[in-house]
Chains A and B, each alone.
Chain A
């Protein structure tokens, strides 16, 4: 079964058709970005543009986009950002959801997190985000970009910080920005030095400890399991929708369904794995290593299958 949901920041598709004893369900988040050229004024080949698009900030030399440079930049942006975020997380099925039978055995798939980035021009319909882009002159090494204003060198690897050992912490800014577009905050948001009620763009929010500053939602390029958040929340929305549909389609009325749900919430026999109320309380913990579908016994035993398992095949 393929289900689709649209969110403010992206579209999501959950595909359970691909499930078998070795393959998990797939959750694909699709982000449609609309890019718009910023060119020198008056059609000139060269000009200037101010950091952050703020006339009081320093001006940087920019050059006019050509069709070839625009196409190449967009392709590089999309390819590199997509490959960074695609296929890196698995959400562990702690709810007993989406079960299927194969060769007489019932399996519970995990969910593989996929990412698709579509780079459109800003004029295309249906973009989730619109981004202005300046093309920096070769003599410029830096431009003050922000969440809706990028520069042509944002895809380059640049030093952002120095860690406690004096080692450079490097980042390609665009993968960090795409993380934000997916709904991720800076790595230290929620910690005492970066409370959500304060400006979460403050430098401390990019990570104080080396391990945090090296993460992609800090100042580095490393992924953390917490960054599976957009997929996990999307999956929870799918499971909530499934629960709702289950109630709506339940004859002869809601009462019997509610009874079943209450019974399930109190804990029950293994069959309770099939009752969708569990989906509401499930966490879907994220892992950054492939985890194979499990049997009910393996779930009950808390066993994780991380290497190619022996399975009966039809």
Chain B
């Protein structure tokens, strides 16, 4: 018998703390900057940034049909593009983020453009 898939209770607790710490400050990008505490190792920090971007897409992108998110690309250290698939076009939301030394990530700018097909 293996217990390889069991998750220790302490890990669950830490995950919950990280999740709560990151989720709480999120706000709509149209109104004020979205911030998220992402002081972690590089992988976790990337995940945290992507989660902040995804949260913003979910909150502020109203075209709920289509093929969903086709891809998210990191264009530069602090710039990401989210490609949302629609009939005949891709809506591309370009995110600029600021990563503070303490790990706090802020979405500083969101622009949208269209790639026609």
A interface with B by C-beta (< 8 Å) = 51-54, 57-58, 142-147, 154, 158-162, 168, 171, 173, 176, 199, 201-203, 206, 219
B88–A146 touching, CB < 8 Å: yes
Q: Which of B55-78 contact A (CB under 8 A)?
A: 62-68, 70
Nearest CB in chain A: distance from B95 CB, A: 16
B86 at the binding interface (Cβ < 8 Å): yes
B117 at the binding interface (Cβ < 8 Å): yes
B interface with A by C-beta (< 8 Å) = 62-68, 70, 85-89, 91, 112-114, 116-117
Q: In the complex the two chains form, what is the Cα distance from A154 to B62 in whole Å? A: 21
**B68 nearest in chain A by CB position:** A142
A203–B112 touching, CB < 8 Å: yes
Q: In the complex the two chains form, what is the Cα distance from A161 to B64 in whole Å? A: 5
**Using Cβ atoms and an 8 Å threshold, which residues of chain B touch A54?**
117
A146–B117 touching, CB < 8 Å: yes
20 sampled A-B residue pairs with Cβ under 8 A: A51-B67, A51-B85, A57-B70, A57-B85, A58-B67, A142-B67, A144-B67, A146-B88, A158-B65, A161-B62, A162-B62, A162-B64, A168-B64, A176-B87, A199-B116, A201-B88, A203-B63, A203-B91, A203-B112, A219-B65
Nearest CB in chain A: distance from B98 CB, A: 26
**Using Cβ atoms and an 8 Å threshold, which residues of chain B touch A176?**
87
**Using Cβ atoms and an 8 Å threshold, which residues of chain A touch B65?**
158-161, 171, 219
B87–A203 touching, CB < 8 Å: no
A173–B62 touching, CB < 8 Å: no
Nearest CB in chain A: distance from B1 CB, A: 36
Nearest CB in chain A: distance from B100 CB, A: 32
**A162 nearest in chain B by CB position:** B64
**Using Cβ atoms and an 8 Å threshold, which residues of chain A touch B91?**
202-203
